Structure 1
Amino acid sequence: MAKEAIASSSKKQAAPAKVVCIPRDQHPISRNDISEHALKVLYRLHKAGFDAYLVGGCVRDLLLGVQPKDFDVVTNATPEQIKQLFRNCRLIGRRFRLAHIVYGRDVIEVATFRGHHSDEHEDDNKLSRKNDEGMLLRDNVYGSIEEDAQRRDFTLNALYYNIADFAIYDFVGGMADLEAGNLKLIGEPEARYREDPVRMIRAVRFATKLGLRIEESCRKPIPKLAHLLDDIPAARLFEEFLKMFLNQKAQANFEVMNELGLMAPLFPVLKTPLKDPQSIEYRMVLQAFIDTDLRLAQNKSVNPGYLFAALLWYPMVARADEIMQEASLSEFDAYQIASADIVGLQARSIALPKRFSLPMRDIWLLQLRLQQTSPRKSIRLLSHPKFRAGYDFLLLRGRVENDPQLRELGEFWTQLQADHPDATAVAPTQAKRRTGAPRRRTRRRKPSQ
């Protein structure tokens, strides 16, 4: 089935593209809105005799009046030719060979035009390769700009800004879809999702971010293909999680993702509870994303560790209860073991770096320590480095569970902070940091025999 769909898609992609050229005086993009470093890359490629275009999200966002975060360049120069032009270039990627032009912290990504896959290419493991599900494992097939446009995911991401004449080139009807508010895949949707299952997540993110409608033909295959996300590297899904939920559309993204069955592959431990909007797990997840949107709207930061603590709290508590029933352990010890179990289980789908998983576990364990209200211990706890996060999490639980005892406990800690404002300052370090270079330890020489 997958191979038939891919073959069908290839036939559609092979159809000649009808290019629409929008001249400079008919679109709003100005060079003043383009990164200085991106312009340098475009002009150097152009002066060297190569084609050079801005492409993708940056063109889309500029047309919508949004300042892009990144500027991507596409050209007919090969990665090796690009490297010869730029001393500050490094080539990366195995699946997609890309050139990164580095200007301090600013990185301009330059790609060579992608070409169509042929039987000859698919037999050559150095150029391209797919697995049995149709997912691309390697893709270094180069082609023309027309082929490159057909190889992109959504029509609104296949708009090209040409530095040679400052015009926009549209090969797949992206401008018309953008104006109509439609999010449409290029080619046969199921085959394109199988090539890269992350496109299902991106479809949701683009739709909510830009206020677009996912075309029905693109929306319909998603629930039955959601399981393909199981084959995506956990580290990549962590990056997609950050893009999806650390923005002001977290609630909307969650609701659409859950409706389409995309949350289950990301959070297997929540697969059943998220089917019931009345479950405590669903209410916690929803409230966490509502709070995320609110904090970001107020220009406050959001820590992924805190967000994961909210998403995985009830699965962790359930696992801790199982451990206490199976072994004679204290609640604190059971929480520690359950925390490690849940983190390990979650890491199979989304890899959570230790800089976030360790604070998450601190937040969970603080829920036990915050039950202690003796004056001496409670005042000392105010100086804990993760106290504020644990306190906020306690208030979140009180709102979600509507538990009078939790609310009363939250009020106690709120009042204690008001009574001891100095105690909530940054916790003192365990030991003074050395400001100089570390002292070198010298070995004693053995006396000569």
Structure 2
Amino acid sequence: MQIELNPVGNMCLLSPLEVDQLQHSANSELYQLYRNCSLAVLNVGSTTDDAEAIYETYKDFNIQVLKRERGVKLRLINPPDHAFVDGKIIKGIQEQLSAVLRDILFISTRYLATPPPRSSDLITHIVFDIFRNAGAIKLDSEPGVITCWGGHSIKHEEYKYTKNTGYQLGLRNINICTGCGPGAMKGPMKGATFGHAKQRSGIGRYIGLTEPSIIAAEPPNTIVNELVIMPDIEKRLEAFVRLSHGLIIFPGGAGTAEELLFVLGILLHPENKLQKLPIVLTGPKDAEQYFNALDTFIGEILGADAQQLYTIIIDDSEEVAKYLKEQISSVISYRKAVGDAYHYNWTLEIEAQFQQPFEPNHENMAQISLHNDLPVNELAANLRKIFSGIVAGNVKPEWVKNIRKNGPYEISGDKEIMTHMDNLLSSFVKQGRMKLQGEYTPCYKIVSE
């Protein structure tokens, strides 16, 4: 099957150089990146998080950028059938295909041809630059973006709760940002559409932030109307906290723990002591055990100061929305007082250890220091890397193959830390929070020093 369609917006016009960059070539890493991200967008609704299986199923898929007198067209060869209705591509998917084209070209032209940046300020600028190019910083809009984190593999009752929480946020004209995939990333957006519609507030903002190594396992859901692709997981995480006026943590697995540790590690830095960034951990009554385990893990390893950075609200979506609505006012007042931008948090101090891309190979995972005598924000950064590696070993194709070839990662550290980590990870496995389907085989092994 072959289908030709127009990109939307200003991506209808590309320079000859840009078109040449995206031509199919066996040696073109950029084309493969563009092709794989485009396939992920077209594969929305997938019931598997096995990226290898997705690429194998659609190994005959191809996308071509065609020069035309009035601009360019995209030719899709053997795309997934479910991206179309009566032979026409779903409008939301067409928009997301254009977002892939925009971000892959922008990142490759502006940043991939240069050495990786080491300066923290430059990395923060890159995140801002990508946002600005994508039109995601809207100065004429009322500040109020809440990021929702949580698992792509969650129970039905938990999904319903995320949807109801989104509905309550939507009734209060709050916009939603998530990792853009299924589960706890889709539910709040779906609920918010009803809340926004009831308030006749126009089309809400449903911002999806992703990156190339995770996009196939967590394809953007079609509610996302602002898709932005960041170069790597670290810039994606920084993008969440810079853009947001508050965070919600729903039940999840290793990826959710990574996200929570990222933001806690940042807020534990002394220079961020006065920062206003409210965090709520919430879920239905059945998820209370999950949050108790997560709270215990944080308290035992990072201490009471870390626990004070978030609020736990169980089984009360309305209270979550009310609390965050009030907190957004405090966030805006703080930014006004310190002269910071309303729509992008420049004053938040983020150290290089949270910004530099971490390659989760066996050697790097084994060398991560997990000791009680480390500064608390450094320990949080190292824990974040551990959970990031586990996510990679679970669903990211390159590292899934690496685990298959070399066996599980070995994670070591102080006995007390390893005991708490083993307990938390075991609870994730027992509750089915590591994979969408099938029996989970751990990609890690806990080793006490």
Q: TM-score, normalised by structure 2?
A: 0.29
Bigger Rg over Cα? 1
Normalising by structure 1, we get a TM-score of 0.29
